[in-house]
Amino acid sequence: MRAVVTGGAGFLGSHLCDRLLKEGWEVLALDNLITGAEKNLAHLKGNGRFEFLKLDVSEALHIAGEVGYVLHFASPASPPDYLKHPIATMKVGSLGTLNALDLALAKGAKFFLASTSECYGDPEISPQHEEYWGHVNPVGPRSVYDESKRFAEALTMAYHTHHGLDTHIIRIFNTYGPRMRLNDGRALPNFVYQALSGKPLTIFGDGQQTRSFCYVDDLIEGIYRLMHANEHFPVNIGNPLEMTILEFAERIRKHYRPAPEIVFEPLPQDDPKRRRPDISKAKRILGWEPKVELEEGLKTTLAYFAQEYKSTK
């Protein structure tokens, strides 16, 4: 019952460590802290079943002791992060995945890949289901993330079919919650940072592109169920409630007084126009669907961001 979580100091990785510890696992978190933060794990200091190592999983992994599960969550995930670190992003999606898979193989462990809805690129269908192959620009600026994750999925399936490794793949749709970094480049933390700073909310394009937002607790529940399922092909986990970015900005505005203005800037290249998960597979094989309403999740998340912003002043 010992799990290795790569990217364990990140937003999702740290919440996953919490859940595994709650379920009785021993957890070893690995992170090079390019985008993760040790403060996300500070509350686990002194927990005898938890250990953190600062290292780059794109380098060879040498982990002592038994390991029952390897969960690969290491990667920059927001556009500004992976555009700032394009080579590191591709290395962690390729070499990092290879090293994590080899670790699982050597230890006789199960393997779990955190993939992404970005595998669908700028989709030509909506909602996106797991059998859709996607519409990805392989040489565009976002390709460093999109293609590294698509490669990671292919490599994971190769280890499953060739080595018989017990593998699982989740495609994560937009997720939010405490421990996100303020102003990390994604819609929610950007809007909140701008609102707290007294600046206008920046919308790219006309704001009619859509996203769906899943609260982190719901996502972690889906991950935990998939960990124990007999399913090796990708599974979408996300909230199918779709809204435009303009609508989402209005939801954020109403939490602040005076309400910030909205300004529009050009849409970045290859930015997806629609993003909505088809979660029928997750419902069928996991009995999973999101439970946390947007306003409930926003209340907790905005309170966290307010405290984070205050601590920087």
Positions marked catalytic = 145
Given a contact cutoff of 8 angstroms between Cβ atoms, the answer to whether 57 and 78 are in contact is: no
Query: Which parts of the chain fold into alpha helices (H)?
Result: 11-22, 79-84, 86-107, 143-163, 187-196, 216-227, 245-253, 280-286, 294-311
How many CB atoms are located within 10 Å of the residue 87 CB? Answer: 9
Q: Give the distance, in angstroms, between the CA of residue 232 and the centroid of all CA atoms in the same chain.
A: 19
| Residue 226 CB-density burial (10 A; 0-12 exposed, 13-18 middle, 19+ buried) | buried
Distance CA 126, CA 152 (A): 24
Q: Which residues of 283-301 are buried (b: 16+ CB within 10 A; e: fewer)?
A: eeebebebebebeebbebb
